[in-house]
Chain A
Amino acid sequence: MATGEPLIVLDSVNKWFGPLHVLDDVSLSVGRGEVVVVIGPSGSGKSTLCRTINRLEPINSGTITFDGQALPAEGKALAKLRSEVGMVFQSFNLFAHKTILENVTLGPVKVRKEKPAVARERGLALLDRVGIANQADKYPAQLSGGQQQRAAIARALAMQPKAMLFDEPTSALDPEMVGEVLDVMTSLARDGMTMVVVTHEMGFARHAANRVIFMADGQLVEDAPPTEFFANPRSERARDFLSKILTH
C-alpha cells in the first residue's frame, strides 16, 4: 500500500452530453490518502468528474484507472469496483424503505456476503462514529438532513472503501446542519481516507484539502495546494470565481 502509485488516475478524459463538452481533456491523479477538493462554478463539470470515477457516468474517451486497474465496463467487475469506492450524494439517496441500520448493512451483507451479525455490529459502530447511533431503527424520512447525510456516509464507509467520493454533500442541507457533516468528513480526512470532494465549502477546502482543483467549462484550470490557490490563484477565471464567493 505504501507505494507511490496513485489510487485514482484520469488520463485525457472527455465526455459530451449531446453537443455539450462537459469534460474537456481532463487529466488528474489522486494519491493514496490524499484529499482533493474540486471547486468551480455551476455547470463546470465537477459533479460529472466525480461521477465518472465509479462510472455512474460513462466517458466518451480517455482512461480512468482505479488502484492500478482500468475501470471495467458494465457487469460484475464494475460492481466489484464500485463496492471499493464509497459515494456520498447531494440528495443523500438513503433507501427510503429501509431503516438507517438496514441502509448501512445492505451492502456488506448482499455484496460482501458478510454475516448479518457482523455487518450489524460494524454498522452500529459506524453510526456511533458519525453520531447517530440512537437513530439506527428509524427510517430516513424521520431524520434531519444532516443526520441523513451522516447516515449516508456511514453506509458508504460500511463497505470499507479504498476511496470516498463526495458529490456536493452539503449543498442540500440547512446551514445549521452543514457543520456536523463537515466535521465527519474532516475526521475521515484526518484518518487518512482518500477523498475526492466536490463542494462549495471553502472553509473545508482550506483546512482539510491537500489539493484544490478548480474547474471551469469542463476544463481542469488549476491544481494547487489550498494555501497557494486561495492566496494566489493563477488564472483569471479562478480569481473571478473567488472574488465572487469570498466577498460575502
Chain B
Amino acid sequence: MNVLIDKFDVFAGGFWLTLQICLLAAIGALILGAVVAVLRISPVPPLRAVGTGYVNIFRNLPLTVVMFFAAFGLPALGSNADFLRIPGLDLIFSRLGTDLPYFRFALIALVLYTAAFVCEALRSGVNAVPAGQAEAARSLGLTFGQNLRYVVLPQSWKASVVPLGSVIIAMIKNSALVGFFGVVGDLSQTADQLTSAEGHAFVPVAIGISIGYLIMTVPLGALLDHIEKRQAVAR
C-alpha cells in the first residue's frame, strides 16, 4: 500500500486533472443541456425537432463512440478545437491552452454526451409543473420566454435538481474514459501509468483512484439527499 503514500503527488495530480475536466464539462453540459431543453419544449415545431434529434443521437450512442468521433473526427475535419482556448480560463485550466488538443476533444465529447441527459432532467422538471400554470401564464399574455422565466422554470427547478445531480455524478464517473482518448494524467490514466508502466501492484492503485472519485461523488450525493429531504419537509 506504500504506493498511496509514495505516489501521493501523482494521485493528487490525477485528481486535480479529473476535477478540472469535470468542472468544465459540468458547466458546458448544463448550458448546452438548457439550450436543448428550451428547443425541445419550444412551440416552434422545427426547433422541437432539432432538440429531439439531438437527444436521440447523444443519449443513445455509447460515450466511447462519441469520444472516438471527437478524438478522430474533429482532426479529420481539420479542427483542433481551438475555440476552447479561452483567454483567462486557460490560466486555471492549463490543458485548455496546450498545443496537444486531446483535453479539449475529450471535453467536447463529455459535454455533448452529458447535455442530452441534462436536457431530459430539466424537461422532466418542466413536465412536473402542472399544465394549468403555463396555461394561466399564456392566458395573461406572457410570451413563451416570459412564461418559462417567471412561471415554469422557478417551479420546475425543485423537480429537476435531484435528477440533474445524478446526471453530474454519472458524468464524473464517465470522465474515466478520457484517459483512453489521449488525455494524459487524469485519475484513471494515472492508474494505467502506475501499474502498466511503473509496475506497481494493481489493487492498491485501484483503491487510490477509487478514493479520488469518491471524494468527488460522495459529497455531491450527500448534498442531493439533503436537498431531497428538505423538499420533502416543505411539501
Contacts and interface: CB of A to CB of B under 8 A. Distances in A.
Contacts of B130: 93
29 contacts: A56-B135, A56-B139, A74-B43, A79-B138, A79-B141, A81-B141, A82-B138, A82-B140, A82-B141, A83-B141, A85-B139, A87-B136, A89-B132, A91-B132, A93-B133, A93-B136, A95-B151, A97-B154, A106-B140, A110-B146, A111-B141, A111-B142, A111-B146, A152-B136, A155-B136, A155-B140, A156-B139, A159-B140, A159-B141
Contacts of A82: 138-141
Interface in A90-110: 91, 93-97, 106-107, 110
Interface string A122-162: 00000000000000000000000000000010011001000
Contacts of A97: 154-155
Interface of B: 43-44, 130, 132-133, 135-143, 146, 150-151, 154-155
The 9 closest A-B pairs by CB, nearest first: A83-B141, A93-B132, A93-B136, A107-B140, A87-B139, A111-B141, A82-B141, A79-B141, A79-B143
B141 A107 contact: yes
Interface string A57-82: 00000000000000000101001111
Interface residues of A, number: 28
A106 B155 CA distance: 15
Given A74-B43, A110-B150, A95 B136 contact: yes
Contacts of B151: 95, 106
Contacts of B142: 79, 106-107, 110-111
A90 B44 CA distance: 28
A111 B140 contact: yes
A238 B145 CA distance: 44
